[in-house]
Amino acid sequence: MNGPARFEGPKKAAPKKPTNVSLSIALVGEAKKLGINVSEACQAGLAAEVKKAREAAWLEENRAAIEASNEYVRKHGLPLARYRLF
């Protein structure tokens, strides 16, 4: 996928940007009671959402090529099928 650098997820040495988020008071209280680092949990959740959105965007950008490849295989079979040993 061309474009901006790929987000690889949280890194220990990566600089952080202070950000305001609104979270449920009860949820934050429960997280703190359980010893969950709210900032790290938010970052992990955001990283997962970014990954999911990038994957969806990649699939959409490449949908035509994927469909063309699948159609070729439906019509002609796998290109190297004759060399398969199973």
Per residue in 21-34, pLDDT (tens digit) is 999 999 999 999 99
Q: Is residue 48 part of a domain?
A: yes
Per residue in 32-64, pLDDT (tens digit) is 999 999 999 999 999 999 999 999 999 999 999
Cα 72 from Cα 59, distance rounded (Å): 18
Residue type, 55: E
Q: Is residue 31 part of a domain?
A: yes
Q: Residue 37 is part of which domain span?
A: 25-76
Q: Is residue 43 part of a domain?
A: yes
Q: Is residue 82 part of a domain?
A: no
Global confidence as pTM: 0.68
Question: SS3 for 80?
Answer: coil
Q: Is residue 33 part of a domain?
A: yes
Which residue pairs, CB below 8 angstroms and at least 24 apart, start in 62-65?
A: none
Higher pLDDT, 65 or 12: 65
Per residue in 63-73, pLDDT (tens digit) is 999 999 999 99
Count of domains for the chain: 1
